[in-house]
Amino acid sequence: MRITVGLATCGISAGGIPVFETLKKELDCKVEKVGCIGMCHNEPIVTVSDDKTYIYGNVTKDNVDKIIRAVKDKKPCAELLIANDINELEFYKKQKRLVTENCGVINPLDLDQYKDAGGYSGLQNAVKLQPEQVIQNITDSGLRGRGGAGFPTGMKWKFISGKKGKKYLICNGDEGDPGAFMNRLVMESDPFKMIEGMTIGAYATGADEGIIYTRAEYPLAIQTLEIAIQTAYKENLLGKDILGKGFNFDLRIQKGAGAFVCGEETALINSIEGKRGSPRPRPPYPAEKGLYGKPTVVNNVGTWAHVATIMKMGAKEYAKIGTAKTKGTKVICLTGHIKRTGVIEVPIGTKLKEIIFDIGGGCPDGTKFKALLSGGPAGGCIPEDKLDTPLDFEPLQELGAIMGSGGLVVINDKSCMVDVAKYFMNFTQEESCGKCTPCREGTKRLLEMLQSITRGAGKPGDIEKIEKLSNFVRDNSLCGLGQNAPNPILSTLRYFRQEYDAHITDKACPAKACLDLVSYHITEHCKGCGNCEKHCPTKAITGKLKERFFIDQEKCIKCGVCFENCAFKAIEKR
């Protein structure tokens, strides 16, 4: 019998460690830590495998004893059972797990388990070929970079393969998008896959040194990678004369300080060199003059993991998945106002509505879908009537959004789209490195105008000013952060302009989300119970028991506590 507990960051934060310790203490069988299987909405997750497999969700220290009793009685725990196989669940039926196939299944630090699952067969296949043949395989697979721009990976490798002298490979694991943790999942749950991919890249390009760059805020990912790298060195899968094939590759981790802009490759390179993390003008591109002035390939975590997958399954088989322009799968973080949050992996070309409603289960009960933010804080907001769009680089760009690193944030009808644009503009403005004037000054001015509109101080002509400045910032900023920063504004203006008009013309927020444009009022349905008065933090509510109470609008801070605590629905939000 084998029992596993998902103890990636999501599992730990949900309370998985006490569950693991209790199972290990109470049961006389193998209890192992595994990574995240993706369905974060069910964490902590416990899997019991014997003659049959039982997958249990939302297991806590308070109910784990039920699983212990069930194991001892040799029967399932029906109360916590969610499936016998993940493919029975709606969450997985339209997924295709290639990069994430081992995540939440194997012990991420057990090299033997990784090999038993087919790990390092990709490297074995690669070293049977000439380096240029490996690059041709990656080219034939149709793999495009999964970090945002979608540049063909084989082409990027070919740029540096013929160059002589020192060359570098970099894994971009600097994941700074709010609500995005796809890279973290792979680093914590299957580190050998990305290490194998980088080693294949080293053999193909002739680079002999690699750096995994990730943020210091990912301590578990860093710890897991460090142990995996040490194991790979011991097994001659890193270092000198790898597998006796005459090529060398050293790999190390570089911790960043958490600057969002360091997700841009030239800012990342500056950071590794010990300089301020700000972008460099391009050209020259890193393939010509990268780390320490040497030819450099920068791919993200997902891209390197796809490399190992391609060399394992074959370029032709891989190329059968996806669309005409983009092959393979995409690992996506599905968050926001959605029932089934988590990390999913779907074929490129999967329709957005399938991701949201079939996999994610739609918005929580009592709310309706309003928009999908694709591409993180520099992405675009997509309305419901565009959800037949396939997940692919060009179709998303046509909608005013981007693929980005793969974050999808679902927004429901309780949200104000002007406020959403303001939130993400605040993020990008704070994260701007300040090197170029369009981004440094432009994002600040855009934020100020959005703040004014959501306060009810917007004026006729503001929308035209915002559009003009957004286009200027997009067209003149130095790097991708500034070039894409206006996307949330431009896309919400494109699809939800009526909400901007309501804020400016009517001084009203249709979603009743902007506090400066909202007020609470007690109606004639008040029974005089006094519950609202008791909960009001500013003593803004007065009245006598069994009589109607009143709210002093001067004292009201619009926290909504009275609204939430009224048992008779006698308080209106206007």
Q: What is the pLDDT of residue 480?
A: 87
Quote the pLDDT of residue 429: 95
Is the same domain home to 148 and 264?
yes
Is 113 within a domain? Answer: no
Could you tell me which of 204, 184, 404, 209 has the C-alpha nearest to residue 290?
A: 209
Percent of the chain clearing pLDDT 70 (strictly above): 100
Q: Are residues 442 and 543 in the same domain?
A: no
Give yes or no for a cis peptide into 283 (omega within 30° of 0).
Answer: yes
In CATH, what number is assigned to the domain containing residue 441?
Answer: 1.20.1440.230
Count of beta carbons in the 10 Å neighbourhood of residue 160: 23
Residue type, 328: G
User: Residue 540 is encoded by which pair of tokens?
Assistant: 């803004």
Per the CB < 8 A criterion, the answer to whether 301 and 406 are in contact is: no
Q: How many domains does the chain have?
A: 5
Q: CATH no. for residue 24?
A: 3.40.30.10
Examine the domain organization and report whether 314 and 377 are in the same domain.
Answer: no
Q: Which of 305, 265, 47, 90 is nearest to 185 (CA)?
A: 305
Question: Are 189 and 97 a contacting pair, CB within 8 Å?
Answer: no
Residue 102 lies in a domain: no
Q: Give whole-number Cα distances, 310 to 137, 172, 197, 230, in Å.
A: 8, 19, 9, 25
111 in a structural domain: no
pLDDT for the residue 54? 97
d(CA 203, CA 459): 60
Backbone phi, psi, residue 116, to 5°: -60, -30
Strands 53-56, 46-49: pairing kind? antiparallel
CB atoms within 10 A of CB 338: 25
Residue 557's region, left for phi above 0, alpha for psi from -120 to 50, else beta, is: alpha
> CA 241 to CA 384: how far, in whole Å?
54
Per-residue pLDDT of the chain (574 residues; tens, 9 = 90+): 999 999 999 999 999 999 999 999 999 999 999 999 999 999 999 999 998 999 999 999 999 999 999 999 999 999 999 999 999 999 999 999 999 999 999 999 999 999 999 999 999 999 999 999 999 999 999 999 997 779 999 999 999 999 999 999 999 999 888 888 999 999 999 999 999 999 999 999 999 999 999 999 999 999 999 999 999 999 999 999 999 999 999 999 999 998 999 999 999 999 999 999 999 999 999 999 999 999 999 999 999 999 999 999 999 999 999 999 999 999 999 999 999 999 999 999 999 999 999 999 999 998 999 999 999 888 999 999 999 999 999 999 999 999 988 899 999 999 999 999 999 999 999 999 999 999 999 999 999 999 999 999 999 999 999 999 999 999 999 998 899 999 999 999 999 999 999 999 999 999 999 999 999 999 999 999 999 999 999 999 999 999 999 999 999 999 999 999 999 999 999 8
Say whether both 73 and 198 belong to one domain: no
DSSP 297: E
The verdict on 47 and 139 lying in the same domain is no
Alpha helices in 357-461 (DSSP H): 393-398, 417-431, 437-454
Would residue 512 count as lying in a domain? no
Query: What is the C-alpha separation between 387 and 14, in angstroms, rounded?
Result: 32
Same domain, 407 and 427: no
CATH number at residue 525: 3.30.70.20
Q: Domain ends where: 298, 319, 340?
A: 319
Q: Which pLDDT score, from 0 to 100, does residue 534 have?
A: 94
Question: Is the residue at 114 inside a domain?
Answer: no
- Neighbour-count burial of 421, counting CB atoms closer than 10 A to its CB (0-12 exposed, 13-18 middle, 19+ buried): buried
d(CA 268, CA 275): 10
Is 80 part of any domain?
yes
Q: How many of the other CB atoms lie within 10 Å of CB of 263? A: 29
Pair (465, 559) in one structural domain: no
CA separation (Å) from 22 to 9, 26, 67, 106, 399? Answer: 19, 6, 11, 20, 50
Q: Are 412 and 369 in contact (CB under 8 A)?
A: yes
Question: What domain range includes position 426?
Answer: 417-506
What pLDDT sits at residue 135? 98
| Residues 83 and 188 occupy one common structural domain | no
In this structure, the answer to whether residues 469 and 486 fall within a common structural domain is yes
Residue 202, domain CATH:
3.40.50.11540
Among the candidates 381, 412, 443, a domain finishes at 412
Which of 378, 412, 446 terminates a domain? The answer is 412
Shared-domain flag, residues 244 and 162: yes
* pTM of the predicted model as reported, rounded to 2 decimal places: 0.94
Residue 106 in any domain: the answer is: no
The Cα 454–Cα 330 span in angstroms is 36
Residue 404: the pLDDT is 84
Distance (Å, whole) CA 97 – CA 342: 14
In a domain, 93, yes or no: no
Best CA proximity match to 105, nearest among 121, 87, 90, 122: 87
Looking at the structure, tell me whether residues 440 and 552 fall in a common domain: no
The answer to whether residues 166 and 222 belong to one domain is: yes
Output phi, psi for 300, to 5 deg: -90, 175
pLDDT digits (tens, 9 = 90+) for 197-233: 999 999 999 999 999 999 999 999 999 999 999 999 9
Q: What is the pLDDT of residue 354?
A: 98
